[in-house]
């Protein structure tokens, strides 16, 4: 079970790069880095995740733990549009935004000149547990469940974006048990990337068999974590 209560309020905040994030005052926790939501997601999940995959992989099967504002999915959609590569995107989010919350975020307006705003809202509007074609190169399936309760297919995902709330807020998510299930769901050579480089998280990943590296982190963080499932 997640340690986050489903009965919380969220406040929209501006980060250092001008992009919005959400803030949980009762947990003193932001959905993204206050140094810049877009710069963090672009660095951790696109530059150090998507762009590190074998360029010949097509389609790309992506699992995201923590859909949140939809920023990571939106950046991946843009990659699919830009490259023409098909992305099948599975997103886990037990506490989805309302359409009113999603509608005030400035994220789609700051990316691609706002041309994909309808796609951004369509992702938030998408029903759960259904495969929905947002663009012909981007298919989305969302799960309104905790990661522990989702039945993941074996050897399926090339890329995992692990973007849950920080370990001090959601300690039950950053565990060997959870990472073991994700490890089984990944293809050999698959990449898991996350902003977190906490020692306990590194140890849990290594215990599952991942091979770790720690590239420089986004603004405000010394390092991040990239975990590879060995071939």
CA atoms of 175 and 135, how far apart (whole Å): 34
49-77: average pLDDT = 97
107-128: average pLDDT = 93
**pLDDT category, 114, cuts 50, 70, 90?**
confident
Task: Dump pLDDT digits (tens) for 152-186.
Answer: 999 999 999 999 999 999 999 999 999 999 999 99
Taking 70 as the threshold, does the pLDDT of residue 3 lie above it?
A: no
45-50: average pLDDT = 98
Taking 60 as the threshold, does the pLDDT of residue 193 lie above it?
A: yes
Q: Indicate the pTM of the whole model.
A: 0.96
**pLDDT category, 113, cuts 50, 70, 90?**
confident
Q: Which residues contact 22 (CB under 8 A, 6 or more apart)?
A: 10, 11, 12, 13, 30, 31, 68, 69, 97, 101
Element spanning 78, H or E: helix 71-83
Q: What is the pLDDT of residue 1?
A: 43
């Amino acid at each position: 079970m997640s340690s986050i209560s489903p009965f919380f309020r969220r406040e929209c905040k501006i980060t250092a790069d001008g992009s919005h994030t959400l803030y949980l005052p009762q947990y003193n926790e932001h959905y993204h880095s206050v140094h810049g939501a877009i710069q963090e997601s672009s660095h951790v999940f696109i530059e150090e995740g998507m762009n590190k995959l074998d360029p010949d992989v097509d389609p790309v099967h992506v699992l995201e733990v923590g859909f949140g504002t939809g920023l990571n999915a939106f950046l991946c959609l843009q990659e699919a549009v830009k490259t023409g590569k098909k992305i099948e995107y599975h997103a886990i989010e037990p506490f989805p935004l309302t359409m009113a919350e999603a509608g005030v975020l400035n994220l789609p307006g700051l990316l691609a000149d706002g041309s994909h705003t309808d796609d951004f809202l369509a992702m938030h509007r998408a029903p759960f547990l259904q495969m929905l074609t947002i663009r012909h190169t981007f298919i989305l399936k969302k799960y309104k469940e905790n990661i522990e309760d989702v039945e993941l297919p074996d050897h399926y995902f090339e890329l995992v974006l692990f973007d849950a709330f920080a370990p001090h807020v959601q300690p039950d998510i950053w565990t060997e048990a959870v990472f073991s299930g994700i490890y089984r769901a990944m293809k050999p050579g698959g990449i898991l990337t996350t902003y977190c480089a906490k020692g306990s998280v590194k140890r849990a990943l290594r215990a599952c068999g991942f091979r770790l590296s720690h590239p420089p982190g986004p603004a405000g963080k010394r390092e991040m974590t990239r975990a590879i499932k060995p071939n």
